[in-house]
Amino acid sequence: MIEEIAIRGLGVIESAEIRPGSGFTALTGETGAGKTMILTAVALLMGSKAPTGLVRGEKARVEGRLNIAGFDDLAEALEDAGGELEDQELIISRSVPAQGRARAVAGGASVPAATLAELTAGLIVVHGQAEQLRIRHSGRQRMVLDAFAGADLELPHNRYRAAYARYQSITAELAERSSSAAGRAVEAELLRHDLEQIAAEDPQPGEDVELRAEEARLANVAELMIASDQAHAALSDPDAGDDAQGRIGSAVRLLERAGAFDDELAHLAGRLRDVGEALADVAADLASYGSALDADPARLAAVQARRAALGRLTRKHGPSLDDVLAWAAEQTPRLADLDSDDRRIAELAEERAEVLAVLADEAAQLSNLRAAAAAALSEAVTAELHGLAMPDAELSVRLTGTPDPDGLPLAGHTLAFGPDGVDAVEFLLRPHRGAQPAPIGVGASGGELSRVMLALEVALAGADAVPTMIFDEVD
C-alpha cells in the first residue's frame, strides 16, 4: 500500500506530503485545489508519460513510499532492475524538468518509466471516468468476471486458448492451400520442369570451374607446348652448352675449389648446389608436362558442349554451378510440399475437426465455471451496493451466446466462439425497486457506475487483492 507521497513543483502544488495510511481516505477540495495533481503524481509513480506543461519552475519531483510486504515477486523484479528494498518498503520517484528528459528511480536505481509501471501494476489501481467507460463494454465485463473466478478458471482458460491458437493455425493453412490450389499447381509444374532439367544434366560440385580450366588448356595446346619446350631447353640443353643447369654447375665447381680457402664461399657453393637441384626438378616436370600435352579436338568439343549445357542452368539459377545445386536442394522439399496438397488438405480437415471437438469441451467447461462465478459475483456486488446508499439495487451477470452455424456445438446449440470461449458477458443493474434490469453500459448514471466500480473492486479483492485502490470523481 502507499505509505507516503511527496510532491514538489507540480501544477498548483508547490510542496505537499500525503500519508494516507490504512483503511479509507477521502481527498476533497474545491476546483483548482490540486486534487487532479495528486492523481497526476500517482500516475507518474506508475510510469505514465511526464507532463512537462505542469512543471512549476525548473523541475517537478514526486516520490512515493510503498509497503510491499508479501509481494515477493515484486522484490525479485526490483532486484533484477538493480534496486533494493528498505525494510519491505519500495521507494520510487520521478523527476520531471521543464526541459529535457524525465528520470525515474526505483529502490535507488535509475530505471525506465516502463519498469515503474511493472512494479506498481499489482500495488495500485486507479478508477476514473475512463475506467467507467471501459466497464460498459462486454469484453471488459468478461475480464472482470474471469478475474473474480480466479485460479479455478485460469487453467481451463489457458487450455482453451492453446487449442484456439492451434485451430487458427490449422484454419489459416487450410484456407491458404484451398484458395491457392490452382496457383500452387502451376508453381509445382514449373518447379518440376526446372528440377528435372538439373537432374538430367547431373551437375557435380565445382564441375564448371574444372571444365573452364580444361577448356583453356585444350584450346591452347600449341602455345603451351612451345612454352614448355622452350623453358625446358633454357633450363636443360646439354647440346647447347649454355643452359641454366650447365652454367650453375660451372659456378658450383668454381666456388667449391675456392671454398677450400674461405668458408663463406663454401657455404654459397652449397646454396647454389641446392638451386641447381631445384632447377633439375623443374626441368624434369616441364619435360613430363610437354610429353603429356596432346591436341584433342573431340575432347575440346565435348568440354565446350558440357559447359554450354551447364551454362543454361547457371544463367537461370546461378551464377555458379554450386548456386544451382543449392537452389535444387532448397526447392526439392518445396515441390514435395506442393505435390502433397490434396493429402495435406485432408489431414488439415481432420485435425480441424479434432481441435473443434476439444474447443467445444473446453468452452463448455469455461461456460459452467463462468456461470457459477457470475452467480457469486452478482451476490457479492449486490451486497456491497446495499452499503453504498443503493439499498434496493441489484447487479446480475448474464451469459449469452451468439448462434452461428459454423460455431461450436454446446448444449444443443451451435454458438460463435473466439479466443475466450463462446460467452458474451453482460452486467445488468437494477438501481431500485420497480426498475427493470438494464445493461450498465446503457442505463447506469455516472454515480451509479462509480458505486458499481467500487463494489466490484471490493468483490474482486478476494480474488486479486490490490493494496491501494484510488477512485476519482466518486459520487
Per-residue pLDDT at 17 exceeds 60: yes
In the block, cell 458505486 appears at 451
Q: Residue 245: name the closest of 256, 232, 236 by CA.
A: 236
Distance between CA atoms of residues 99 and 87, nearest Å? 35
H or E stretch at 16: strand 13-18
Distance between CA atoms of residues 92 and 323, nearest Å? 59
What's the pLDDT score for residue 346? 87
Let me know: does 405 contact 414? Beta carbons within 8 Å: yes
- Label residues 393-429 b or e (16+ Cβ within 10 Å = b): bbbbbebebeeeeebbebeeebbebeebbbbbbbbbb
What's the pLDDT score for residue 132? 62
CA dihedral 223, 226, 229, 233 (to 10 degrees): -130
DSSP-assigned beta bridge partners for residue 409: 414
CA dihedral 453, 454, 460, 461 (to 10 degrees): 150
What's the pLDDT score for residue 56? 86
What's the pLDDT score for residue 89? 87
Question: What mean pLDDT value characterizes the chain?
Answer: 87
pLDDT tens for 153-178 read: 999 999 999 999 999 999 999 988 87
**β-pairing, 2-10 with 59-67?**
antiparallel
Cell numbers found for residue 8? 514538489
What's the pLDDT score for residue 130? 60
Q: Which of 230-234, 304-308, 375-379 has the lowest mean pLDDT?
A: 230-234
What's the pLDDT score for residue 304? 87
Mean pLDDT of 363-377: 96
Distance between CA atoms of residues 390 and 433, nearest Å? 10
pLDDT tens for 119-135 read: 887 788 777 666 666 67
What's the pLDDT score for residue 287? 82
Let me know: does 45 contact 468? Beta carbons within 8 Å: no
Half-sphere exposure of 235 toward its Cβ, with a 13 Å CA cutoff?
Answer: 19
Q: Which of 55-64, 296-305, 337-346 has the lowest mean pLDDT?
A: 337-346
H or E stretch at 105: strand 103-106
pLDDT tens for 72-104 read: 778 888 888 898 888 888 999 999 998 888 899
Distance between CA atoms of residues 107 and 86, nearest Å? 8
What's the pLDDT score for residue 205? 92
Distance between CA atoms of residues 140 and 40, nearest Å? 24
pTM over 0.75: no
Cell numbers found for residue 29? 477540495
Mean pLDDT of 339-359: 89
pLDDT tens for 190-200 read: 998 999 999 99
Q: Which of 232-246, 377-391, 397-411 has the lowest mean pLDDT?
A: 232-246
Distance between CA atoms of residues 29 and 472, nearest Å? 13
Q: Any residues with CB less than 8 A from the CB of 455 and at least 6 apart, and which?
A: 380, 381, 384, 385, 388, 395
Mean pLDDT of 193-209: 91
CA 110-112-116 angle, to 5 degrees, is 95
